[in-house]
Amino acid sequence: MNLLIKNGRVVDPSQGLDAIADVLISDGKIAKIDGHIEGSNVEVFDAKGLVVAPGFIDAHTHLREPGYEGKEDIESGTKAAAAGGITTVFCMANTDPVIDSSILVSGLKERIARKAAVNVEVIGAVTKGLKGEELAEMGDMAEAGAIAFSDDGRWIANSRIFRSALEYASAFDKIIISHAEDETLAAGGYMNEGLTSTKLGIPGIPAAAEDIAVARDIILAELTGARLHVAHVSTKGAVELIRQAKARGVKVTAEATVHHMTLTDSAVVGYNTAAKVSPPLRTAEHVEAVRRGVKDGTIDIIVTDHAPHSFKDKDVEFRYAPNGAVGLETSIAVALTDLYHTGILTLEEMIDRMSAAPSRLFSLDRGNLKIGSRADVTILDLNKEWTIEGRKFYSKSKLTPFEGKRRRGKAAGAIVNGKIVMKDGIVL
């Protein structure tokens, strides 16, 4: 059956579209956009008062499968994505076993085909076992469908290995995604180094740990001419390094998480392990720099770095709690509340950074509502008032640093390949 989205405000940054219109979807493709469309034998989604946007894409998530299914799995993680209005997620390779071979990529993709509620792209490891010592089978993984490569969670400190990785990935026109943090400088730290860490008596991680790693990575990207993507940028120094590199023509792109744009290290007060993430939440000065970077395009995309853990894992002394927070079911609401309604980003900019831009960056066949394109659609209620309650999440992890916060704005629907997978917060 075809699907007709009626009466919505259609916003598509890829074609400068912002108008009240109907959208007809046929055979999983965008068939027509017009001021008024009549259709027979169609399912109707009434989007009056809502925004109809290209499907949102989260290029940085941890679905935990294989190996850590107690924290999350493909089914629960993609249902969480659908509930949050996200139609495509990228899953990172730091699983058990690590996704570092074509066999594992193929096996994971087979599981995805059977279990996923939304589109899932697989990111392969850069080095075998994430050990930073020997390159993984990137060529074979690329042929098996890996969209990019990352040792996320660890920085590849060996510069020779990292240079080789950049050169090898460029042969397949793939991007290396770097978790840029000098581990020797970050060692022994558990949150941002600063006034708050001093007051709490928690050893800190200086912003310089990120800045140093980003600088090294950019230098090697410039040397090789390869494509580098800097994950979860959190410091003003890193933003400026990326800005300068882009001005020189270096093939560097970057992402920022919703939490690094909306929370400061004060969220840790009370030894709140739900706010213990990597890189750590920074001070307001760094948050403002990251926001400016997203605004001016220095930082290309917004992601969640959805990293679920069980309550048992997090319910320990702060220093022993694992890093990570969930974000798939809150990212759109937090972005609308703290970035759009505050005037930091326009609606078009927010949709671009969370849909069109990641599609362009990773050469996906989505992220737009052009005629004939894949019918992945996110429908937004810009003004819905609600309170975040982790116990209601589809994710196996119920811990969020936004627990109890009142939000203005929420995803009202998600359509994947022409099929409604979420409506009014309920995954279908």
Q: What is the mean pLDDT of residues 247-271?
A: 98
The counts of H helices and E strands in the chain are 14, 19
Sheet holding 228-230, edge to edge: 56-61, 86-91, 119-124, 148-150, 176-178, 228-230, 252-257, 301-303
Structure confidence at residue 212 (pLDDT)? 98
pLDDT in tens, 209-230: 999 999 999 999 999 999 999 9
Peptide bond into 97 cis (omega under 30): yes
Catalytic choice (100, 152, 305, 376): 305
Structure confidence at residue 115 (pLDDT)? 98
Structure confidence at residue 40 (pLDDT)? 84
Q: Is the pLDDT of residue 379 over 80?
A: yes
In angstroms, the Cα distances linking 310 to 336, 400, 405 are 27, 11, 21
Whether the CB-CB separation of 297 and 311 falls below 8 Å is answered with no
In angstroms, the Cα distances linking 63 to 58, 263, 289, 315 are 12, 23, 29, 21
Tokens found for residue 101? 């071979």
Q: Is 305 a catalytic residue?
A: yes
Q: Is the pLDDT of residue 39 over 90?
A: no
Whether the CB-CB separation of 244 and 266 falls below 8 Å is answered with no
DSSP-based three-state secondary structure for 219: helix
| 127 DSSP assignment | B
In angstroms, the Cα distances linking 368 to 33, 305, 350 are 12, 23, 14
**b (16+ CB within 10 A) / e for 128-146:** eebbbeebbbbbebbebeb
| 411 DSSP assignment | E
Q: Is the pLDDT of residue 1 over 90?
A: no
- How many CA atoms are closer than 13 Å to the CA of 366, on its beta-carbon side? 28
In sequence order, which residues have a C-beta less than 8 Å from that of residue 218 and are 6 or more positions away? 228, 241, 242, 245, 250, 252
Q: Is 316 exposed, middle or buried (0-12, 13-18, 19+ CB in 10 A)?
A: exposed
Four-residue CA torsion sign, 334, 294, 289, 201: positive
Distance between CA atoms of residues 74 and 110, nearest Å: 11
Distance between CA atoms of residues 276 and 104, nearest Å: 30
pLDDT in tens, 280-319: 999 999 999 999 999 999 999 999 999 999 999 999 999 9
| 55 DSSP assignment | P
The separation between the first and the last C-alpha atoms of the chain, rounded to the nearest angstrom, is 16
pTM (two decimals) = 0.98
- Residue among 64, 57, 47, 279 at smallest CA distance from 153: 279
pLDDT in tens, 48-67: 999 999 999 999 999 999 99
Tokens found for residue 159? 């510069």
pLDDT above 70 coverage of the chain, percent: 100
Whether the CB-CB separation of 225 and 170 falls below 8 Å is answered with yes
Q: What is the mean pLDDT of residues 104-119?
A: 98
Tokens found for residue 186? 């970050």
pLDDT in tens, 334-364: 999 999 999 999 999 999 999 999 999 999 9
In sequence order, which residues have a C-beta less than 8 Å from that of residue 183 and are 6 or more positions away? 154, 155, 157, 209
Distance between CA atoms of residues 323 and 327, nearest Å: 13
Structure confidence at residue 166 (pLDDT)? 98
- How many CA atoms are closer than 13 Å to the CA of 100, on its beta-carbon side? 19
- Residue among 360, 391, 321 at smallest CA distance from 13: 360
Q: Is the pLDDT of residue 18 over 80?
A: yes
Domains identified in the chain and CATH numbers: 2-51+374-427 (2.30.40.10), 56-361 (3.20.20.140)
Show the 3-state SS of 232-287.
CCCCHHHHHHHHHHHHHCCCEEEEEEHHHHHCCHHHHCCCCHHHCCCCCCCCHHHH
